[in-house]
C-alpha cells in the first residue's frame, strides 16, 4: 500500500482512487514534518497546529484588498465594516472546510479534483486556477513595486523587476524547513498589524461609530455606489488559491492518521485558521477605519489609490511617520503574499498534472508572467494604469472563485468521500448558501466591471 493510500481513511471512497500506487502526498518534501505532541497540555497541541492558518490569512490582506478597503472607507465612512465582517465569516467557514478535506482524505483540493473529475474538466480547472494565481501574483508585484517606490523612490518598473528576486527567498525558506517559513510569515504579519495599530491609535476613531459600522444595514443594498464597493470587498476577500493551499499545508502536521487523530487535527486546525483570520479581519477593518477617519472625515471621499493614500495620510493624521508605516505594511504584505502564492502554485501544478518543477523555476515562471504586464502598462500609462491593472487582477480572481468553492463544498458534503467526517447537514446547507452568494456577487462584480 502506498503512503498516499495509507493516509486516506478506510471508509473513504478515495481509499482506492489511485490503484497504480503513483499518488504522492501533497507537498511531499514537508509532508508530516512538523511534530505534534500526544497528550499533555492542550496549549502544546494548539501551538503545534498553529501556522497554516496564518499562512492562509496572508491572502485575505494582500495588496489586492487595500484598494477596495480604502475606497469603502473614504467614500462611505464606517458603513461597510459590516461587509468586511461578513466576508471574513465566509472565509472562516470555507477555510475550515478546506482543512477538513485535507486532513480526512489525505488529498489537497487539486488532487481531489483530479481523482473525481474527468481529464477535460481537470484541465479547465487547472487553467482557471493558474490564471487566478498569476492574477494574485500581479497584485503582489504591483503592491510591492508601489511600496518600494513610496519608501525608496525606486521607479515602478524597477520595483517590479526587483520582485523577481523573491523566488530565491522562498527557496531558502523551504530548505530551512516548513516551520521557518511559517515563522517568516507570522513575523511579517506582526509587522503589518503593528503598523496599523499605531495608525489607528493616532487616528482615534469614534468607538461608537466604528461599532455601529459592524451592524448590517439595508443601505448597502439600496445605494448602488455602496453596493458596488461592497461587492468589490467581498470579491477581493475570499482568495481561491487559499482553498488549495490550506487543504495541503494542514497535512504538514504529523498527527496520527487515525479517526481520533484526524478528529483532533480538524479541531486544532479550525481553531488555528479562525484565530488567524480574525487577524485578517483586524487588518482589513483597520484600513477601512483609517480611510473613514482620516479621509472621509476630512472630505477626501475619492481616495481609492494606494499612492494617493500615502501622500495624504501623514498631513491629515498629523503623524509624520504614518505614511511610512503605511508603506512598510504594504511591503510586508507583498512579500508575505509571495510565499503563499508560490506554495499554492506548486500544489496546483502537482495536484492537477502531477508535474513537478524546481521551486525556483516555478516561481520565476509565475512571477515573470506577472511582471511583464506590470512593466508594459507602467511604461505606457504610468501609475494610473497600474491602479487599473490592480483592479483587473481582482476581477480575474473573482472569475476563478466558483471553480474552487463549488468542488470544495461538493466534496466535504459527500458522505461517500468523507465517511463519518462528512460535515453536518446544517453546515452543508450554510456552505451551499455561502457558495451561491459568493458566486452571484462575483458575477455581479464581473458584469459591472466589464459592462458597467
Residue 12 has pLDDT above 70, yes or no: no
pLDDT-based confidence at 1, cuts 50/70/90?
very low
The whole-angstrom separation of Cα 386 and Cα 338 is: 19
Residue 17 has pLDDT above 50, yes or no: no
Residue 369 has pLDDT above 80, yes or no: no
Using the 8-state DSSP alphabet, how is residue 299 labeled? T
Average pLDDT for 263-287: 94
pLDDT-based confidence at 4, cuts 50/70/90?
very low
Please classify residue 121 by burial: count the beta carbons closer than 10 Å to its beta carbon, then call 0-12 exposed, 13-18 middle and 19+ buried: middle
pLDDT at res. 18: 42
pLDDT-based confidence at 412, cuts 50/70/90?
very high
Residue 119 has pLDDT above 60, yes or no: yes
pLDDT at res. 117: 93
Average pLDDT for 193-219: 92
Residue-wise pLDDT tens digits, 25-38: 888 888 888 988 88
Across 24-38, 269-283, 325-339, the highest mean pLDDT is recorded for 269-283
Q: Where are the beta strands (DSSP E) in 161-215?
A: none
Residue-wise pLDDT tens digits, 157-168: 888 888 877 767
What cell numbers appear for 276 in the block? 488567524
Average pLDDT for 129-147: 81
Instruction: Give the 3-state secondary structure of residue 131.
Output: helix
pLDDT-based confidence at 449, cuts 50/70/90?
low
Residue 284 has pLDDT above 50, yes or no: yes
Question: What's the whole-model pTM score?
Answer: 0.88
pLDDT-based confidence at 19, cuts 50/70/90?
very low
Residue 265 has pLDDT above 80, yes or no: yes
pLDDT-based confidence at 270, cuts 50/70/90?
very high
Residue 20 has pLDDT above 50, yes or no: no
Q: Across the chain, what does the average pLDDT equal?
A: 84
Average pLDDT for 130-157: 84
Which residue would you say has higher pLDDT here, 262 or 234?
262
Average pLDDT for 203-207: 92
Cα angle, residue 153 at apex, residues 147 and 156 outer, rounded to 5°: 60
Which residue would you say has higher pLDDT here, 9 or 62?
62
Reading phi first (left if > 0) and then psi (alpha if -120 to 50, else beta), residue 299 is in left
| Alpha helix (H) residue ranges in 50-118 | 52-57, 63-76, 81-105, 109-116
Name which of 102, 110, 106, 105 is nearest 403 in CA terms. Answer: 110
Q: What is the DSSP string of 227-243?
A: HHHHHHHHHHHS-HHHH
Residue 21 has pLDDT above 50, yes or no: no
pLDDT at res. 61: 83
Residue-wise pLDDT tens digits, 77-104: 999 999 999 989 999 999 999 999 999 9
Residue 221 has pLDDT above 50, yes or no: yes
pLDDT-based confidence at 16, cuts 50/70/90?
very low
pLDDT at res. 14: 52
pLDDT at res. 297: 83
Name which of 65, 416, 438 is nearest 243 in CA terms. Answer: 438
pLDDT-based confidence at 206, cuts 50/70/90?
very high
Average pLDDT for 308-318: 87
Amino acid at each position: 500500500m502506498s503512503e498516499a493510500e495509507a493516509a486516506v481513511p478506510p471508509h473513504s471512497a478515495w481509499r482506492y482512487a489511485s490503484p497504480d500506487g503513483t499518488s504522492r502526498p501533497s507537498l511531499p518534501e514537508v509532508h508530516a514534518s512538523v511534530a505534534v505532541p500526544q497528550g499533555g497540555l492542550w496549549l502544546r497541541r494548539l501551538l503545534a497546529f498553529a501556522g497554516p492558518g496564518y499562512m492562509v490569512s496572508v491572502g485575505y490582506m494582500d495588496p489586492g484588498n487595500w484598494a477596495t478597503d480604502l475606497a469603502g472607507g473614504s467614500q462611505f465612512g464606517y458603513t461597510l465594516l459590516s461587509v468586511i465582517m461578513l466576508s471574513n465569516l465566509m472565509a472562516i467557514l470555507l477555510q475550515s472546510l478546506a482543512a477538513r478535506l485535507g486532513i480526512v482524505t489525505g488529498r489537497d483540493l487539486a488532487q481531489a479534483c483530479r481523482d473525481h473529475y474527468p481529464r477535460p474538466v481537470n484541465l479547465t480547472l487547472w487553467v482557471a486556477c493558474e490564471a487566478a494565481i498569476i492574477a494574485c501574483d500581479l497584485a503582489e508585484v504591483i503592491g510591492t513595486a508601489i511600496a518600494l517606490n513610496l519608501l525608496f523612490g525606486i521607479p515602478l518598473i524597477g520595483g517590479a523587476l526587483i520582485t523577481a528576486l523573491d523566488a530565491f527567498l522562498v527557496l531558502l525558506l523551504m530548505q530551512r524547513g516548513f516551520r521557518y517559513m511559517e515563522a517568516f510569515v507570522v513575523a511579517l504579519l506582526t509587522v503589518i498589524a503593528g503598523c496599523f495599530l499605531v495608525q489607528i491609535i493616532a487616528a482615534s476613531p469614534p468607538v461608537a461609530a466604528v461599532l455601529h459600522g459592524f451592524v448590517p444595514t439595508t443601505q448597502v443594498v439600496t445605494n448602488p455606489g455602496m453596493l458596488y464597493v461592497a461587492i468589490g470587498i467581498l470579491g477581493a476577500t475570499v482568495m481561491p488559491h487559499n482553498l488549495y493551499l490550506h487543504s495541503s499545508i494542514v497535512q504538514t502536521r504529523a498527527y496520527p492518521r487515525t479517526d481520533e487523530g484526524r478528529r483532533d487535527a480538524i479541531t486544532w486546525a479550525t481553531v488555528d485558521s479562525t484565530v488567524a483570520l480574525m487577524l485578517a479581519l483586524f487588518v482589513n477593518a483597520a484600513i477601512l477605519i483609517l480611510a473613514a477617519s482620516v479621509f472621509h472625515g476630512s472630505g477626501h471621499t475619492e481616495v481609492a489609490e494606494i499612492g494617493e493614500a500615502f501622500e495624504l495620510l501623514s498631513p491629515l493624521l498629523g503623524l509624520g511617520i504614518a505614511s511610512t508605516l503605511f508603506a512598510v505594511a504594504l511591503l510586508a504584505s507583498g512579500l508575505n503574499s509571495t510565499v503563499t502564492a508560490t506554495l499554492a502554485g506548486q500544489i496546483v501544478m502537482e495536484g492537477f498534472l502531477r508535474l513537478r518543477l524546481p521551486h525556483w523555476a516555478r516561481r520565476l515562471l509565475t512571477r515573470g508572467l506577472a511582471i511583464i504586464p506590470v512593466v508594459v502598462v507602467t511604461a505606457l500609462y504610468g501609475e494610473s494604469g497600474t491602479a487599473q491593472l490592480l483592479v483587473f487582477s481582482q476581477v480575474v480572481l473573482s472569475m476563478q472563485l466558483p471553480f474552487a468553492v463549488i468542488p470544495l463544498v461538493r466534496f466535504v458534503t459527500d458522505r461517500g468521500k468523507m465517511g463519518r467526517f462528512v460535515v453536518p447537514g446544517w453546515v452543508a446547507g450554510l456552505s451551499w448558501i455561502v457558495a451561491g452568494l459568493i458566486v452571484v456577487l462575483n458575477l455581479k462584480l464581473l458584469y459591472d466591471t466589464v459592462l458597467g
